[in-house]
Chain A
């Protein structure tokens, strides 16, 4: 319940509102029809988007099905290529890029016992 003072203030405000801003209210029917049009347009756009998305998905799936399956075997040469590695410090070596597996220096030639122990 408003006090008399509040009621007077309210009356003043309402009067001011009508004077300044509340004069031209658009008709409800007009606004409603415009809103309904926008709503229908929004639904149409949504349907179009959904249709385009469905077609795109169908195309992608069909293309994937038709593509030949990838070869499951791996070439040894390709595999070796992927594991090939050169140490950055190799440039400092006198003979660059030697194969440590083939050029292994022979340190112990013999396994024959000499004097009770292995040479």
Chain B
């Protein structure tokens, strides 16, 4: 069935469905770009452009949320692949021009512990805990098998618990 506000080039995607997951998509985009708000907004808009143009075509094979998250993930990957190759050149020839990314204010141990996790573990824990995806959906977004996703998830939880315990003891 086609919604009234379905997109011309993406008949299975409606504006209202996107609006419902907007804040979640922004959160995911935000964590894709080191919590830079402007970049995250740009990334999210680019994902919407891909959906509007039909370059990213949703065909109901997964949930819309999983699909849009995958689009954001892929856009972020291709964007940062380009940026990192440029950065490598700048680091090589003009090291004085490179500025390190600004970390968000870590006012508690939980945030610090999450940020200290390896990238894959951090991603899956964010997708499952904060974005309310299943491990299967999160694995699809990350482009890994469910088995690999489960391993990352279990390791991330274990690492988080031990870090939090360590933090609580320190406090």
- A and B associate: yes
Query: Does B104 lie at the interface of the complex (its beta carbon under 8 Å from any beta carbon of A)?
Result: yes
CB closest residue in chain B, given A34: B45
Decide: B161 and A31 in contact? CB cutoff 8 A: no
Docked CA distance A20–B15 (Å) = 28
Q: Which of A13, A28, A43 contacts B114 (CB 8 A)?
A: A13
Q: Which of A14, A21, A34 contacts B31 (CB 8 A)?
A: A21
The secondary-structure label for the interface of chain B is helix
Query: Does B58 lie at the interface of the complex (its beta carbon under 8 Å from any beta carbon of A)?
Result: no
Decide: A31 and B45 in contact? CB cutoff 8 A: yes
* Interface size of B as a range: 35 or more
Decide: A13 and B52 in contact? CB cutoff 8 A: no
Query: Does A68 lie at the interface of the complex (its beta carbon under 8 Å from any beta carbon of B)?
Result: no
Q: Which 7 A-B pairs have the closest CB atoms?
A: A35-B48, A16-B110, A16-B111, A28-B22, A39-B52, A10-B129, A35-B45
Return 23 A-B CB contacts under 8 Å, by A number: A5-B161, A9-B157, A9-B161, A12-B164, A13-B110, A14-B130, A16-B114, A17-B27, A17-B130, A19-B107, A19-B111, A20-B104, A20-B105, A21-B27, A21-B30, A21-B104, A22-B30, A24-B37, A25-B22, A28-B19, A28-B22, A39-B52, A39-B53
The secondary-structure label for the interface of chain A is helix
Query: Does A52 lie at the interface of the complex (its beta carbon under 8 Å from any beta carbon of B)?
Result: no
Query: Does A38 lie at the interface of the complex (its beta carbon under 8 Å from any beta carbon of B)?
Result: yes
Q: Mark out the residues of chain B between 117 and 171 whose CB falls within 8 Å of any chain A CB in the assembled complex.
A: 125-126, 129-130, 157, 160-161, 164
How far does the Cβ of A39 sit from chain B's closest Cβ, in whole Å?
Answer: 4
**B110 partner residues in chain A, CB cutoff 8 A:** 12-13, 15-16
